[in-house]
Amino acid sequence: MTADGRLIGDTVMEMKNITLRFGGVVAIKDISFDIKEGEIRAIIGPNGAGKSSMLNVINGFYHPQEGEVWYKGARRGNLKPYEIAHQGIARTFQNIALVKGMTTLDNIMTGRLTHMKSGLLSQMIWAGKAEREEIENRELVENIIDFLEIKSIRKTPVGRLPYGLQKRVELGRALAAEPSLLLLDEPMAGMNLEEKEDMSRYILDVNQQFGTTIALIEHDMKDPVHFEFELCKGTFSYVKTKVYNAITSESLFNKQHFDACNAIKTDYPYPEKASRGQRSDVDDQRKAAMIELNKQAIESILFA
Ligand SMILES: Nc1ncnc2c1ncn2[C@@H]1O[C@H](COP(=O)(O)OP(=O)(O)O)[C@@H](O)[C@H]1O
Ligand SMILES: [Mg+2]
């Protein structure tokens, strides 16, 4: 169990010595790591380190030339992305991949496609089974909209939304697939600090309320580690450029860090969900304390 009370289970995904090349470009070189059930696993590395490519390997867009992918205890062959989606893996993209002209609601509904059983034809003529399915899907999607607190924009075309909200809608679409493993490609990139904090809370809530295992990647060392610290996770990987070594971060997220992090959360508790969005002094104090803790930890690693 982690310091913040989450249960970390068995390994769900194991990447073993993955190497991916595009012609002469080596995007990923001999990277191994695992993702355990229930955890929020972050992988950070600079631009070009191969992070997005790694997510593309996990969800089947790319097939590595070398290495093995193990999912839920079995070695996975070269499946197609939709087959992998059916196995319960969903993702968001580094560059938001929403249909800009479609509303929030409709974009999130597209996340249900992998679950729609009745054929396109019956959906078109709106008959029996398809109608029931549509109603069930609608209900689930409305719950996600509530959960992400985006009710007021459900009918707004996403192209008109600010960046931070578009990222949240994209998270909603991934959640609509009811994934057991959720992959987030730079969920915080390009956001201001407040948007980042909101997003980090939603990520944590998804993990805690739905028990979803999450793997996320970020390119920046400082900001993401800042929000990682706020997430207070158990494991962490740092993909180094050039060296391409994945290391687990017991050294970074050690017991001492957990304790310090939890002490801050006790001293400056998070607001109840209902009052989120209204910043208080406590939020500012917690943030300052977290940033300080984070700075010290990063410095101790980078300059050790
Ligand atoms: N489809 C592709 N074709 C050719 N090269 C690619 C492709 N996708 C990624 N790369 C290359 O692989 C390397 C890693 O890219 P990427 O996975 O996007 O890194 P990151 O997400 O860490 O910034 C880069 O050198 C990039 O140019
Ligand atoms: Mg990337």
For ligand 1, atom 6: residue with the closest CA? 22
Give the β-pairing of 66-71 and 11-22: antiparallel
pLDDT reading at 122 higher than 70? no
pLDDT given for residue 245 in this prediction = 29
Q: From 129, 132, 109, 104, select the one nearest 118 (Cα to Cα).
A: 129
Ligand 2 centroid distance, CA of 235 (Å)? 20
Structure tokens of 48? 């070009």
Which residues are found with C-beta within 5 Å of the ion, ligand 2? 51-52, 94
pLDDT given for residue 74 in this prediction = 95
Give the β-pairing of 74-75 and 181-185: unpaired
38 vs 273, more confident: 38
Ligand 1 mutation pick, 20, 44, 51, 53, max ligand atoms within 8 A of CB: 53
242 vs 154, more confident: 154
Tell me the pLDDT tens digit for each residue of 211-239. 899 988 877 655 555 555 455 444 444 43
Structure tokens of 269? 């508790």
Of the pLDDT bands very low, low, confident and very high (cuts 50, 70, 90), residue 241 is very low
Q: How far is CA 194 from CA 156, 203, 219, 220, 257, in A?
A: 22, 14, 19, 17, 23
Ligand 1 centroid distance, CA of 53 (Å)? 6
> Where are the extended beta strands (E) located within the chain?
11-22, 25-36, 40-44, 66-71, 74-75, 89-91, 181-185, 213-218, 236-239, 246-248
Ligand 1 mutation pick, 21, 25, 63, 186, max ligand atoms within 8 A of CB: 25
Ligand 1 neighbour 28 (Cβ under 6 A): no
Q: CA 206, CA 97: separation in Å to the nearest integer?
A: 20
Decide if 42 contacts 236 (C-beta within 8 A): yes
Counting Cβ atoms within 10 Å, is residue 290 exposed (0-12), middle (13-18) or buried (19+)? buried
pLDDT given for residue 302 in this prediction = 47
Can you tell me whether residue 6 is helix, strand or coil? coil
Average pLDDT, integer, range 260-283:
78
pLDDT given for residue 169 in this prediction = 96
pLDDT reading at 167 higher than 90? yes
pLDDT given for residue 272 in this prediction = 74
Cross-strand bridge partners of residue 215: 41, 183
* Phi, psi torsion values for 158, nearest 5 degrees: -65, -25
* Phi, psi torsion values for 215, nearest 5 degrees: -120, 125
Please calculate the CA angle 52-8-169 and round it to the nearest 5 degrees: 45
Show the DSSP H helices in 33-192 as ranges: 51-58, 81-86, 104-110, 120-125, 128-147, 163-176
pLDDT reading at 192 higher than 90? no
Phi-psi region of 18 (alpha: psi -120 to 50; beta: other; left: phi over 0): beta
pLDDT given for residue 75 in this prediction = 96
Closest ligand 1 atom to Cα of 47: 23
Ligand 1 neighbour 53 (Cβ under 6 A): yes
Closest ligand 1 atom to Cα of 54: 17
Q: From 125, 16, 112, 109, select the one nearest 71 (Cα to Cα).
A: 16
pLDDT reading at 128 higher than 70? no
pLDDT given for residue 275 in this prediction = 63
For tokens 């939890």, name the residue.
Answer: 262
Ligand 1 centroid distance, CA of 112 (Å)? 29
| pTM of the predicted model as reported, rounded to 2 decimal places | 0.77
For ligand 1, atom 4: residue with the closest CA? 22
pLDDT reading at 121 higher than 60? no
pLDDT given for residue 108 in this prediction = 95
Decide if 187 contacts 199 (C-beta within 8 A): yes
Give the rounded distance of the alpha carbon of 78 from its chain centre: 23
Which range, 56-60, 133-137, 227-231, 233-237, has the best average confidence (pLDDT)?
Answer: 56-60
**pLDDT cut 90: percent of the chain above it:** 35
Average pLDDT, integer, range 92-117:
87
**Which listed ligand is nearest to 239 at the C-alpha?**
1
Rg (CA), the chain: 20
pLDDT given for residue 299 in this prediction = 59
Can you tell me whether residue 12 is helix, strand or coil? strand
Give the β-pairing of 25-36 and 11-22: antiparallel
> What number of residues does the chain have?
304
